[in-house]
Amino acid sequence: MPFELEALVGHLYMVGGRVIKTQPPGALVEVAPGKASRGREADTFFALVLPSGSSAPSTFYEQMALMSAERFFATGGSVTSALREMLNTLNNNLYEHNQSGRTHYEANLICAVLRDDELYLARVGAAVAVLRHSGTTLTYPEDLTVDEHLYQPPLGVQPIPQVQMKRFLVDSGTRLLLADASLAEIKADNLTQALVAGDLEQVLADLKLLITGQVQLVATELVPAEAPVSVPVVTGESTGAIAAQMAAQRSQAAASAATPAPAPRRPPRTSVVQRTAGRLIRPVGGALLALGEVAGKLFTRPIDSPRPRLSSGFLMGAVIGFPALIVLIVVLSWAARVGETEFEGCVAQAVEAATFARSMDSSNPPGVIAAWQGTLTRTAECLALRPTDELLLNIRAEGRSVLDRVNVIDRRNTHLIATFENARIKTLVLQGLNLYALDDASDLVYRVQIGSDGLSAAGTPQFIVNMRRGATVDGLPVGDLFDIAYDDQEDRIAALDTAGVLVRCLPQFLTRCDGQRILASETWRSPTRISIWQGRLYLLDPQGNQLWRYQATGGQYPGNPTEYFAGEVRPNLINAIDFDITTTGIGTVYVLYSDALMSQHLAGEAQPFAFSAFPDDTFSQSSTNSLFLNDGPIDASLYIVSQSTRTVYKTTLSGTFIARYQVFDEDDFALLSDVVVDPSTQIIYAASGNAIFAVKMTDG
């Protein structure tokens, strides 16, 4: 599956059955700008802002689309959290404006984010997405005939928007439609027939014949970046270019007018002194300045203008015209109260949002979730101004408690075990009180001895000298290590590099190591994980679509590997990311895939397996990273890591949901990569970035 996909984009804009030969005013496609927030660099953003209620000027929808892209690319964290933050911000701006009694504005919005082979969809209000992928046509909402699912409250009508999200896996040839609710009138078979047309131009032509009234629609096809473009479509517009073009048009229109007047606009973000000086002048020019503030807050983005702005020098010069004593009083008054006023206004909004969230009917979980998520977003903004405010901390604690209860989340504190400079921990192995960690950045293995409390390290962590890139063991140079495992029969910690050099060291004497070269390493295509079961070495090779098995003889692996999957029907391992083997019987193999799926195999044959009883669809929509299997007599369970949701999921060995664990300081799990579990103490040891944390699964 190619990971470098290019978006070819076409538009369809119809009013009264007539095609308008321009793109819909609220349509936008944005590739990551140069100043995108960390983690957004590889994202492509699609947006379609649609009318709701009374129509607004076209510039309203244009600016809403621009603001949505700006806010998304300026927000770090996961894709879903950035989308939710963006939608909450747009809704808050519109809602505040509408509450002021001025002209009422509202809008529906549907957007998508392409990241590698993942496509995230988010919608607020009446909007539709249709996806054609792998021979299947999917819609979002899933049932377009149910009005309750299709027609949701738009942006600007309630304090907290009802955000709906969905995640899909895509590849080359995937086609996506973002449109208004009129697309729901097309029969499913006709819609599919249009989507499978020869090219994107024909797709739009077929849709024109199926729509008799009006529609605003963005059609996208994903193709490899090097593929030739044979149809007249648009590729990744930048909001910077759009904004510059719109600014030039406005300047040209103003220059040609008989009596030019500057358009209302929001001033750029300035220092506190400049903003305060603006407040002082407001009695002189209040009406014009207020108009500019409202227009800018709702519809504009800070862009460079050929018309010079009022500088701080100009503003202060205006103030100097007042008597010096009055100036001094005003400045001192600002210094004492302006920060407090800004903070108190933020607190008032947080309290209002919390009051609204408390009023939500508990029988409506989506509404409760949306309301409290919006409250937490506003509370976080206020806490940035005053991090120790007790009222805000209580609101945050209440919101998290409600969301955890609704989402069935066990939230726990973290205990820092160890950190390693410039490290990126990929794999953890626990053997007794010895915790081994593979640093995938420096290709070396650390050993951490766990203290008697299970929540701290006993002594200073140390790296294993012979288990690192560049070492030489038994005359064999050690290269890039890709995984570690524990050999119970030989009682040694083992590490394997991509060239087939296997290094094993005694836990009691870490300098006593042996090395050997595993045969047939040149046939591996993408070795990712290893496991040692009853002396046999198993190696997961996703691109080779095989689980290779090496038989041990006298503590060595002298022969070529055999194929674990040797039958006529074999699993597709291309998305496999981890595996583990039960310790009893002939060994049941569990294979975890990146799209939250798992397969179970016995002697190479597939066994029935399915995840079930999850409280919502968060897990099925997430990406997964690693697996830990415990089939011992205490707490036999599967533990599955999802970095995208910063969660550790726990299920039975048959896949039935038991619990999901998150932590109070969510930044601790921002780079969550692997976990191991001590069932006797009920402690999870989690690797995240360059750190290892301990998390107690039970209270107390």
Top pLDDT among 233 and 93 is at 93
SS3 state of residue 61: helix
Summarised one tens digit per residue, pLDDT across range 26-83 is 999 998 888 888 778 888 999 999 998 777 888 888 889 999 999 999 888 788 888 9
Q: What is the pLDDT of residue 297?
A: 46
pLDDT of 288 > 60? The answer is no
Pairing between β-strand 215-224 and β-strand 175-180 as defined by DSSP bridges: antiparallel
User: What's the pTM?
Assistant: 0.60
- Residue with more model confidence, 268 or 121: 121
Mean pLDDT of the residues in the chain:
84
Distances (CA, A) of 416 to 376, 430, 437, 697: 26, 16, 14, 15
Residue 255's pLDDT is 52
Segment 76-108, tens digit of pLDDT: 878 888 899 899 999 988 988 888 877 888 999
Rounded-to-integer distance, Cα 171 and Cα 461, Å = 43
> 390-407 and 365-385 helices cross at what angle (nearest 10)?
150
pLDDT of residue 244: 53
Could you identify the residue written with the tokens 């504009």? Answer: 300
Residue spans per domain, the chain: 5-244, 264-291+315-410, 411-696
pLDDT tens, residue by residue, 368-414: 888 898 899 889 889 988 999 999 999 999 999 999 998 899 999 99
Mean pLDDT of 513-533: 96
CB 395, CB 350: distance < 8 Å = yes
Cβ neighbours around 620 below 10 Å, total = 12
Mean pLDDT of 609-620: 91
Output the CA angle 182-184-190, nearest 5 degrees.
110
Helix (H) or strand (E) holding 378: helix 365-385
Give the Cα separation of 350 and 394 in Å (integer): 11
In this predicted structure, the answer to whether residue 147 has a pLDDT above a threshold of 70 is yes
Looking at residue 159, what is its pLDDT? 86
Protein fold of 5-244 = Phosphatase 2c; domain 1 (3.60.40)
Q: What is the mean pLDDT of residues 344-372?
A: 88
Given a cut of 90, whether residue 18 has pLDDT beyond it is: no
User: How do residues 446-467 score in pLDDT, each as one tens digit?
Assistant: 999 999 999 999 989 999 999 9
- Which one, of 508, 487, 332, 522, lies nearest residue 434 by Cα? 508
Residue 299: pLDDT band with limits 50, 70, 90 = very low
120 Rama sector, left if φ>0, alpha if ψ -120 to 50, beta otherwise:
beta
> Which of 556, 493, 505 shows the shortest CA–CA distance to 530?
493
Protein fold of 411-696: Methylamine Dehydrogenase; Chain H (2.130.10)
Residue 248 pLDDT = 56
